[in-house]
Structures are given as C-alpha cells and as structure tokens.
Structure 1
C-alpha cells in the first residue's frame, strides 16, 4: 500500500498538476498555431510567391507506381512515392517560430510582474521573538 500512496502523493503535488495543465494547454495552443500557419499565414505567402501551395512543395526521389490489378486480384503491389517534402518542413518551421515568439512574450510579461513584486517595498518587520520576550520580562519586573 506504500507504493500506491506514494504514487498518489506524487501525482497530487502542485508541480505535477501544473505540468499536466501546461501540457494540455500547450497541445491545444500548438493546434491553434498550426491551423493559423496552414490556413491563414501560408496561403497569402504562397499567393505572393506565384500561387504556390507549400504543402505540395517536394523533391521526388522515386516515383510511386500504382498497384496493377488483374481479374480483381492484385498482381503487382503498389510502390509508394519517395520524396523530400520541404514545403511541410517550411510550415513546421513557421509553427515553431510563432510558438517561440508567443512563449517569449509570455515570459517577458512574467518577468515584468516578478520585477514589480521585487521592487514593491516589503512590509515593515515586527519585533523579533527576543524583543517581545524582553518586553514581557520588563513588564513582569514592574
């Protein structure tokens, strides 16, 4: 039972819950950025570059061949095309740059709030335990 309770305590730590939340939100944010890149950003860029669809940019190393059917049965299997899909790579790089920029902006805002917290004057410290005990002793002497 010790292992199960230790594992439960580990999962319930605040850092783990925060990390899980960050992974879920990050995944959703990644999908949003991918959609933004593929559906909003890249089409105008492709249009400016001469009606280029970046998804279709590739260097074919070996053409694919379709399957040959004879009497409903496959005689020669299909061979997949071998290609370097550099257009998909360009879109992935755009995704990375956009996500990196957004994370940079969030971290800059976080650093500003931290600096404001550090710059805020600390509340005046009350008397120490020794000072309080000294005052109580003095009052008791009177």
Structure 2
C-alpha cells in the first residue's frame, strides 16, 4: 500500500510535534527541582512559601540581627522587606558587601520550623552606590 506524499508529510509533522512535546515535558520535569522561586519575608509569613523547596529570599538585613557563631562560619541574621521578617542561617564565607542594613538575596530552603537555611548569599549594594572615583569626578563638575 502506497502512502500519498501529502499524507507522508502530515505524518512527519505530527511525529515531529509529538517529539517536541515530549522533549519539552522531559525538560520541565528535569528542571522542576532546580527552579528557585523568589520570595519575600511577607510571602513566608503568609504561608506562600513551601518548606523544603529551593527558593531565593530577598530583602534587607535587619540592623542588630547579624550574629556569628563561635565556629566563625555560621551566620544568623534576619531579613526584612518592610512588612515582615524572616530568620536566616548560613554556614560559609559571607560576601564582602554583606553587612547589616544592606540588601541580600539568600538561596536555600525553608525548614519546617520556619527558619530559612541558606546555601548561598548574594549581597546587593545600594542602587545609589557610586565608586569613589566617580563620586569625586561628579563633585568636581
């Protein structure tokens, strides 16, 4: 039995679409655990953040909340978004720009007790930051 060229093209197109759909579904399934959602302390307080799921917590380090344990590596601090606060613990070397009152994005997971356990910390500088050389140049003009 001969298949007409028109039907052959239709079969090839359908097979290509099924293969593409399969590849997309496989990629989504594989990346599901690696996706890190951005949350704020208000999201955590409202119960919108699922425990034990990879996420990024963003906000400002509350002044007076930064504590270092005796081991020198474990850091405990509180992050605020102006509406709520969230306690964070991180074990590792903190970035140079990390300090109280500065912006921070902590990557990690929320434990069942509501403590955010960070695997990585990204410190953000103020959006008004200007290197000293440029500030001096701007003042001279």
TM-score, normalising length: structure 1:
0.28
Alignment TM-score, normalising by the size of structure 2: 0.28
Higher strand share: 2
> Max radius of gyration: which structure?
1
More helix by percentage? 1
